[in-house]
């Protein structure tokens, strides 16, 4: 029922947005569909765009489920990529690619976790709401990236202000040299399964959900909710950082100021439309991946492109919120379990 | 003297938005959509100012957009009892998408440089600059000394008591949100038709979020929030000053990050031990 309502809301949001901006609905939908699923290039594009959305979306699920409003996925993704690039710069040529790649991803996760963990700590220890600090840290991260690629990590051959491109053997595996699709998709899907198992199959996952659903019940059960809060933020940031590392070693191979594409920002609608459930994120991440892939085709009608997708996403979130049942008795049930 | 006026001018968008956010938060509504509301106000003010040649009409249009955005948000937050952070985030995304799409549609992909007529100035001062401190004093006085203010504060502290007395928390919050929205719209509009005389995609650059931080720092007091806004205006002025001098030893990215770092720093220093409105962020569930 809930799934059906969400799908209806998504469809409605898409069609309404097209109508409002005066685009021909049938033709636009056909172009979107062809761009996203028309041939193997389209499907590969869809999956490649969905990959970072899945990872960042999962990150949002973990934080929000613990009651932490992490709005800083974008900053965590950027800082993750910077961490990865720093490791790459230090070890490139000293370590073989297949070894270096996982090191880059691990550094990305660690850097992302630090960035978000700081925000979590600020809330717990200093009373600074994460919803504000994570947003402010996004802007700091953007400037940090600009400084890094123009300063310490800038390639020395005088080219564009960006980092030294990674050699091919350090990049994530590709299934087909013609396509963008890369091994990051497998990482993302495994992450979906792991997060599902963690949230619904482990004691820590249960505690995390309990802290978010009912802080009073958590306290009554002597769950250290402050540690859970910081831990959830760090996990969340690690996933967003991983998204940055995967994008870096899967698609771009280099960092420049144009690196962030808003994946961390758009993770929030992805997570919300996925019902803050990892399996829901799998569906909504794929849907928005398809929208992004298809939108390049829409350029024929509209210069909007990606900004139009923001509208569709916002409209979808609002539509889902509008259709959602009002009361939330689930909280009490879960606390009693 | 020129420097003071410049700081004053840079302070206005953040200060105005912060005053509105104080009123909204005092009633119990955390408006994360402030950033998007400002952006909407900035775009429409620039568009109307450009097409009519009247910056005052632009400012008015910006205020109207702010009001509309707050009404939209109010429907979700007050009628549907939606999560305030979710609704606000959606508003931000919506504003970014709508202004971006319309801007590209109207002025082309790259967005040619627009030249919008700005508000008239007398000795460097314009009406909005003079009005902002007055608005802050008015807001502070009415929150503190009027029956409306008492009820609005009460609906942020203890809404059930307000309901028990026979007043509508929903209506009180709607009023506070409308004030917040109108001021946010004006703040955004002032950015485009007051300071810059142009519009660029995402031109608010997080000023709305900084304003939210200042509300906490100013302990939910309108005058303190405006004071903190001047601090931010000073930082922005410093940024331009140092950049104009070539920056010296300081990397300019650090200068650009300064307002956000400062907002974070004031929160770290100022948030501990403060107590916001008790019911802030909580949806009103009458028939739960």
Separation in Å, CA of B217 to nearest CA in chain A = 10
- Between CA B128 and CA B12 the distance in angstroms is 8
The C-alpha angle with vertex B102 and arms to B99 and B105, in degrees rounded to 5, equals: 145
Half-sphere exposure of A186 (CA within 13 A, CB side): 7
- Name which of A137, A146, A327 is nearest B288 (Cβ-Cβ): A327
Q: Can you read off the two tokens belonging to residue A29?
A: 């939908």
CB contact (8 A) between residue A307 and residue B101 = yes
Which among B25, B78, B89, B220 is the top mutation candidate for probing chain A, defined by the most A β-carbons within 10 Å of its own β-carbon? B89
CB contact (8 A) between residue A150 and residue B253 = yes
Q: Can you read off the two tokens belonging to residue B225?
A: 């929030």
Q: Provide the residue count of chain A.
A: 337
B242 in a structural domain:
yes
pLDDT band at B10 (very low <50, low <70, confident <90, very high): very high
- Between CA B210 and CA B14 the distance in angstroms is 7
**Tell me, what's the pLDDT at B285?**
63
Can you tell me the ipTM of this complex? 0.88
CB contact (8 A) between residue A318 and residue B81 = no
Mean pLDDT value of segment B54-60: 96
CB contact (8 A) between residue B105 and residue A326 = no
**Tell me, what's the pLDDT at A298?**
77
Maximum Cα–Cα distance across chain A:
63
The residue with tokens 């947003």 is A135
- Between CA B18 and CA B212 the distance in angstroms is 6
Name the strand (E) or helix (H) holding A250.
Answer: none
Which among A66, A122, A131 is the top mutation candidate for probing chain B, defined by the most B β-carbons within 10 Å of its own β-carbon? A131
**In sequence order, what are the residues at sequence separation of 6 or more whose Cβ sits closer than 8 angstroms to the Cβ of residue A190?**
none
Number of domains in chain B: 1
Maximum Cα–Cα distance across chain B:
63
CB contact (8 A) between residue A268 and residue B210 = no
* CB A281 within 8 Å of CB A73: no
Chain A positions in Cβ-Cβ contact with residue B106 (cut-off 8 Å): none
Q: Which CATH architecture has domain A2-336?
A: Orthogonal Bundle (1.10)
Which among A314, A315, A329, A332 is the top mutation candidate for probing chain B, defined by the most B β-carbons within 10 Å of its own β-carbon? A314
Using the Cα atoms of residue B86, residue B91, residue B92 and residue B98 in order, give the sign of their dihedral.
Answer: positive
Residue scoring higher pLDDT (B79 or B182)? B182
Half-sphere exposure of A194 (CA within 13 A, CB side): 12
| DSSP, res B192 | I
- Between CA A259 and CA A256 the distance in angstroms is 5
**pTM score, whole prediction:** 0.91
SS3 B275: coil
- Between CA A111 and CA A109 the distance in angstroms is 6
- Between CA B157 and CA B212 the distance in angstroms is 19
Q: Can you read off the two tokens belonging to residue B279?
A: 């019911």
The residue with tokens 């594409």 is A261
**Tell me, what's the pLDDT at B247?**
58
* CB B263 within 8 Å of CB B215: no
B204 in a structural domain:
yes
**Tell me, what's the pLDDT at A294?**
87
- The phi and psi torsions of A52 (rounded to 5 degrees) equal -65, -30
Which among B98, B212, B235, B262 is the top mutation candidate for probing chain A, defined by the most A β-carbons within 10 Å of its own β-carbon? B98
Nearest by Cα to B15 from B193, B195, B233: B233
- Count of helices and strands (H, E) across chain B: 11, 0
Q: How far is the CA of B70 from the CAs of A221, B42, B60, in angstroms?
A: 40, 15, 15
Q: What is the CATH number of the domain that holds B65?
A: 1.10.3470.10
- Name which of A265, A269, A326 is nearest B81 (Cβ-Cβ): A326
DSSP letter string, A132-155: HHHHHHHHHHHHHHHHHHHTTT--
Question: Which structural domain, as residue segments, surrounds residue B69?
Answer: 2-109+128-270
- Name which of A126, A147, A310 is nearest B253 (Cβ-Cβ): A147
Q: Can you read off the two tokens belonging to residue A250?
A: 């899967």
- Between CA A307 and CA A313 the distance in angstroms is 10
B120 in a structural domain:
no
pLDDT exceeds 90 at position A155:
no
Please tell me the least confidently modeled range out of A146-160, A255-269, B77-91. A146-160
Buried/exposed B155-193: b ≥16 CB within 10 Å, e otherwise: bbbbbeebeeeebbbbebbbbbbbbbbbbbbbbbbbbbb
pLDDT band at A47 (very low <50, low <70, confident <90, very high): very high
CB contact (8 A) between residue A303 and residue B216 = no
SS3 B141: helix
Chain A positions in Cβ-Cβ contact with residue B88 (cut-off 8 Å): none
SS3 B202: coil
* CB B62 within 8 Å of CB B186: yes
Chain A positions in Cβ-Cβ contact with residue B285 (cut-off 8 Å): 326-327
pLDDT, tens digit (0-9, with 9 covering 90-100), for A89-127: 999 888 898 999 999 999 999 999 999 999 999 999 988
Nearest-Cα residue of chain B relative to residue A71: B89
CB contact (8 A) between residue B210 and residue A136 = yes
**In sequence order, what are the residues at sequence separation of 6 or more whose Cβ sits closer than 8 angstroms to the Cβ of residue A334?**
A209, A210, A213, A214
- Between CA B22 and CA B213 the distance in angstroms is 11
**Tell me, what's the pLDDT at A4?**
82
Question: What dihedral do alpha carbons A221, A224, A228, A230 form, nearest 10°?
Answer: 160
B282 in a structural domain:
no
- Name which of A127, A132, A314 is nearest B213 (Cβ-Cβ): A132
| DSSP, res B283 | P
User: Exposed, middle or buried: residue A333 (CB in 10 Å: 0-12, 13-18, 19+)?
Assistant: exposed
User: In sequence order, what are the beta bridge partners of B125?
Assistant: B122
- Per the prediction, chain B carries an average pLDDT of 90
B283 in a structural domain:
no
pLDDT band at B113 (very low <50, low <70, confident <90, very high): low
Mean pLDDT value of segment A267-283: 93
pLDDT exceeds 50 at position B241:
yes
DSSP letter string, A186-218: HHHHHHHHHHHHHHHHSHHHHHHHHHHH-HHHH
pLDDT, tens digit (0-9, with 9 covering 90-100), for B34-43: 999 999 999 9
pLDDT exceeds 60 at position B111:
no
Mean pLDDT value of segment B29-54: 95
pLDDT, tens digit (0-9, with 9 covering 90-100), for B118-156: 898 888 899 999 999 999 999 999 999 999 999 999 999
- Name which of B253, B254, B285 is nearest A327 (Cβ-Cβ): B285
- Between CA B37 and CA A279 the distance in angstroms is 33
**Tell me, what's the pLDDT at A335?**
36
Q: Can you read off the two tokens belonging to residue B57?
A: 């009409």
């Amino acid at each position: 029922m809930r799934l059906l309502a969400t799908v209806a809301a998504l469809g409605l949001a898409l069609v309404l947005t097209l109508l409002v901006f005066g685009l021909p609905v049938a033709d636009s939908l056909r172009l979107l569909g062809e761009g996203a699923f028309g041939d193997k290039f389209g499907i590969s594009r869809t999956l490649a765009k969905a990959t970072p959305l899945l990872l960042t979306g999962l990150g949002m699920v973990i934080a929000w489920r613990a009651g932490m409003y992490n709005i800083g996925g974008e900053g965590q993704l950027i800082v993750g990529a910077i961490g990865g690039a720093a490791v790459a710069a230090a070890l490139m040529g000293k370590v073989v690619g297949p070894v270096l790649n996982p090191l880059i991803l691990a550094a990305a996760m660690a850097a992302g976790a630090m960035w978000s963990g700081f925000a979590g700590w600020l809330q717990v220890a200093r009373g600074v709401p994460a919803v504000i600090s994570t947003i402010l840290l996004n802007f700091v991260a953007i400037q940090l990236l600009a400084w890094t690629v123009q300063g310490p990590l800038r390639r020395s051959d005088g080219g564009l202000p960006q980092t030294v491109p990674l050699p091919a053997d350090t990049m994530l595996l590709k299934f087909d040299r013609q396509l963008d699709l890369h091994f990051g998709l497998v990482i993302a899907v495994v992450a979906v399964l792991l997060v599902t198992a963690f949230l619904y199959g482990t004691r820590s996952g249960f505690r995390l959900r309990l802290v978010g659903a009912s802080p009073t019940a958590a306290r009554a059960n002597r769950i250290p909710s402050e540690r859970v809060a910081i831990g959830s933020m760090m996990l969340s940031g690690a996933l967003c950082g991983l998204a940055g590392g995967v994008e870096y070693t899967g698609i771009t191979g280099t960092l420049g100021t144009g690196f962030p594409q808003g994946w961390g920002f758009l993770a929030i609608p992805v997570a919300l439309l996925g019902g803050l459930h990892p399996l829901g994120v799998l569906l909504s991440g794929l849907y928005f991946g398809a929208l992004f892939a298809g939108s390049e085709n829409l350029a024929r009608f509209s210069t909007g492109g990606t900004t139009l997708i923001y509208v569709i996403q916002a409209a979808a979130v609002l539509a889902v919120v509008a259709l959602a049942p009002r009361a939330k008795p689930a909280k009490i049930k879960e606390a009693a379990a | 003297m020129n420097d003071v006026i410049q700081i004053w001018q840079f302070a206005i968008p953040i200060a105005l938005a912060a005053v509105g956010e104080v009123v909204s938060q005092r009633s119990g509504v955390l408006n994360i959509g402030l950033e998007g509301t400002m952006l909407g106000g900035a775009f429409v003010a620039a568009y109307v100012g450009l097409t009519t040649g009247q910056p005052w009409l632009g400012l008015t249009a910006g205020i109207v957009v702010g009001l509309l955005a707050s009404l939209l948000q109010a429907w979700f937050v007050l009628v549907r009892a939606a999560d305030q952070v979710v609704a606000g985030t959606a508003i931000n995304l919506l504003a970014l998408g709508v202004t971006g799409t319309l801007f590209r549609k109207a002025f082309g992909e790259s967005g040619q440089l627009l030249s919008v007529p700005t508000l008239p100035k007398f000795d460097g001062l314009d009406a909005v600059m003079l009005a902002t401190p007055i608005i802050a004093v008015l807001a502070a006085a009415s929150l503190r000394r009027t029956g409306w203010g008492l009820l609005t504060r009460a609906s942020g502290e203890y809404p059930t008591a307000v309901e028990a007395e026979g007043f509508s928390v929903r209506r009180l919050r709607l009023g506070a949100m409308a004030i917040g929205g109108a001021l946010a719209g004006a703040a955004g509009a002032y950015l485009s038709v007051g300071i810059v005389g142009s519009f660029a995609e995402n031109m608010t650059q997080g000023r709305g979020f900084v304003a939210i931080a200042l509300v906490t720092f100013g302990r939910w007091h309108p005058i303190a929030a405006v004071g903190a806004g001047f601090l931010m205006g000073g930082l922005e002025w410093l940024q331009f000053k140092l950049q104009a001098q070539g920056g010296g030893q300081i990397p300019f990215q650090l200068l650009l990050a300064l307002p956000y770092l400062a907002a974070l720093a004031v929160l770290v220093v100022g948030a501990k031990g403060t107590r916001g409105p008790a019911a802030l962020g909580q949806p009103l569930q009458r028939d739960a």
